[in-house]
């Protein structure tokens, strides 16, 4: 059902995108160093960046691959938990930097594997059916981790889906995942600079993918699967490739998520379908297929409810009204018509003034 009519955005702009990100990073760093930034904004920088990374990942899936996924929060969840577990176990064993790097690699690889495995059944479906199955997988991941108890003692690893007591651990054993209570005490390894570096990494990977032969193959499948198949493009292989990369990048965002905050729980407010939908909002508002748009929209939309804090209990109401209004202004054919006419008249006016 989700016919994508957009053409791939001109990829010449990729360096502009990197430039914007780097410039934003420099400005923020200067303000931070000079002590000019409010602690509120300072605390928002990292979450803003990891949501931008997931938005880029989801845009690869929705905009480039052309398949609607409502389960990307699940991949984040996998990345967050797998890396947090590693960091927790090796806390104090190795230097912080090395530990985070290995945790990052683990998070990305585990979520890529999960993405690959989920991709096998999911990508056989189409349209809304595919969307609902990704939603289902996201919920399954969340639910399983939520019900999981994991601990280590001298006898090895214990796992249970019932309760902490059912782990039957020795008294000095360490509970790593405590069911709904999740993981506590993950080291605070992530910071804004690391997050920005990873955002740039995600951008480079996605942009290079789009501009590569593989990327063009994926977009040809999006635009006309049957035509693509008929010229010998292995459809399943390319779909799997794009989906797996997308899952891996979402997992990377999860790694930053879990290393930025002391508590990690597999519950709806962090990894439920509503979070996947929130990320989809970033992607659609930023422009489907526009990688830069995703980054910008994620930043603005994450900041918006936070900046509206002053409005107290009205803020989520206002946020929703803004969301509806922006969608109509940006997407309604009539609004676009009027907007184009308006800007044309301004341009004409300016030209006239210039020649006069």
Partner 1 sequence: MMSFLTSFVNGLSLGSIYAIIALGYTMVYGIAKMLNFAHGDFIMVGCYIIFIFSSNLGLNPVAAILIAIVLCTLLGITTERVAYRPLRNAASPLAVLITAIGVSYFLENLALLIFGADTKSFTSVVPWAGISLFGGSLQIQGITIVTILVSLLILIFLQLFVHKTREGQAMLAVSQDRGAAMLMGIDVNKTITLTFAIGSALAAVAGALLASAYPSLTPYTGAMPGIKAFVAAVLGGIGSIPGAMIGGLVLGIIEILSRTYISSQLADAIVFGILVVVLIVRPTGILGKNIQEKV
Partner 2 sequence: MKKKLLSIALTAVMAASLLAGCGGSGASGSSSSGDTFKIGVIGPLTGGAAAYGTAVQYSAQIAVDEINAAGGINGKQVELKAEDDELDAQKSVNAYNSLKDWGMDMLVGCVTSACSIAVSEETKNDNMFQLTPSGSALDCVKYDNVFRVCFSDPAQGAASAQYIGQNGIASKVGVIYDSSDVYSSGIYQTFAQEAANQGFEIVSAEAFTADSKTDFSVQIQKAKDAGAELVFLPIYYTEASLILQQANTMGYKPIFFGCDGLDGILGVENFDTSLAEGAMLLTPFAADATDELTQSFVKSFEAKYEITPNQFGADAYDAIYAIKAAAEKENVTPSMSVTEIGDAMKKGMTEISIDGLTSTGMTWDASGEPTKEPKAVVIKDGAYVSAQ
Among 79, 151, 254, 287, binds partner 2 (CB under 8 A): 287
Report d(CA 243, CA 209) in Å as an integer: 12
Query: What tokens does 356 get?
Result: 């006069």
- Asked if 151 and 175 touch (Cβ cutoff 8 Å), the reply is yes
Residues 6 or more apart whose CB falls under 8 angstroms from that of 223 comprise: 4, 66
Binding-site partner at residue 280 among partner 2, partner 1, none, CB < 5 to 8 Å by type: partner 1
- Asked if 54 and 72 touch (Cβ cutoff 8 Å), the reply is yes
Nearer Cβ to partner 2 (19/234): 19
What is the pattern of x (binds partner 1, CB under 8 A) and - over residues 110-139? -----------x--xxx-xx--xx-xxx-x
- Asked if 53 and 21 touch (Cβ cutoff 8 Å), the reply is no
HEC per residue, 117-137: HHHHHHCCCCHHHHHHHHHHH
Among 22, 27, 144, 341, binds partner 1 (CB under 8 A): 144
- Asked if 46 and 195 touch (Cβ cutoff 8 Å), the reply is yes
Residue ranges in 117-176 that form contacts with partner 2 under rule CB under 8 A: 139, 143, 146-147, 163-165
Neighbours of 288 (CB within 10 A): 21
> Which residues contribute to the site for partner 2 (CB under 8 A)?
24, 31, 35-44, 47, 139, 143, 146-147, 163-165, 179-182, 184-185, 188, 257, 260-263, 265, 267-270, 272, 286-287, 290, 292-293, 296-297, 299-300, 303-304, 306-307, 309, 312-313, 315-316, 330, 339-340, 343
> Which residues contribute to the site for partner 1 (CB under 8 A)?
1-6, 62, 68, 121, 124-126, 128-129, 132-133, 135-137, 139-140, 143-144, 146-147, 161-162, 225-227, 273, 277, 280-281, 284-285, 288, 313-314, 316-317, 319-321, 323-324, 327-328, 330-335
């Amino acid at each position: 059902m989700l016919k994508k009519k957009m053409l791939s955005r001109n990829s010449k702009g990729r360096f502009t995108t990197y430039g914007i990100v780097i410039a934003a990073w420099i400005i923020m760093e200067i303000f931070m160093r000079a002590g000019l930034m409010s602690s509120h904004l300072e605390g928002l920088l990292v979450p803003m960046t990891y949501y931008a990374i997931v938005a880029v990942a989801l845009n690869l899936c929705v905009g480039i691959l052309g398949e609607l996924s409502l389960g990307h929060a699940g991949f984040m969840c996998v990345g967050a938990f797998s890396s947090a577990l590693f960091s927790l176990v090796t806390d104090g064993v190795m230097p912080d930097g090395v530990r985070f790097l290995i945790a990052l690699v683990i998070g990305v690889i585990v979520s890529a594997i999960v993405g690959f495995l989920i991709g096998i059944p999911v990508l056989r479906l189409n349209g809304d059916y595919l969307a609902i199955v990704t939603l289902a997988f996201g919920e399954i991941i969340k639910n399983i981790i939520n019900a999981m108890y994991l601990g280590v003692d001298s006898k090895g690893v214990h796992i249970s889906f019932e309760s902490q007591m059912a782990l039957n651990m020795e008294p000095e054993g360490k509970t790593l995942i405590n069911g709904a209570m999740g993981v506590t005490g993950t080291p605070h390894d992530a910071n804004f600079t690391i997050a920005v570096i990873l955002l740039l990494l995600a951008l480079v990977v996605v942009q290079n993918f789009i501009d590569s032969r593989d990327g063009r193959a994926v977009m040809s499948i999006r635009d006309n699967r049957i035509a693509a198949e008929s010229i010998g493009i292995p459809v399943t292989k390319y779909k799997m490739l794009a989906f797996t990369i997308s899952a891996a990048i979402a997992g990377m965002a999860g790694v930053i998520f879990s290393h930025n905050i002391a508590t990690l729980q597999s519950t709806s407010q962090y990894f439920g379908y509503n979070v996947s939908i929130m990320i989809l909002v970033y992607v659609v508002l930023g422009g489907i297929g526009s990688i830069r748009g995703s980054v910008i929209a994620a930043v603005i939309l994450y900041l918006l409810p936070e900046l509206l804090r002053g409005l107290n209990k009205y803020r989520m109401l206002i946020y929703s009204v803004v969301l509806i209004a922006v969608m109509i202004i940006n997407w309604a054919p009539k609004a676009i018509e009027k907007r184009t006419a308006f800007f044309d008249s301004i341009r004409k006016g300016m030209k006239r003034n210039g020649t006069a």
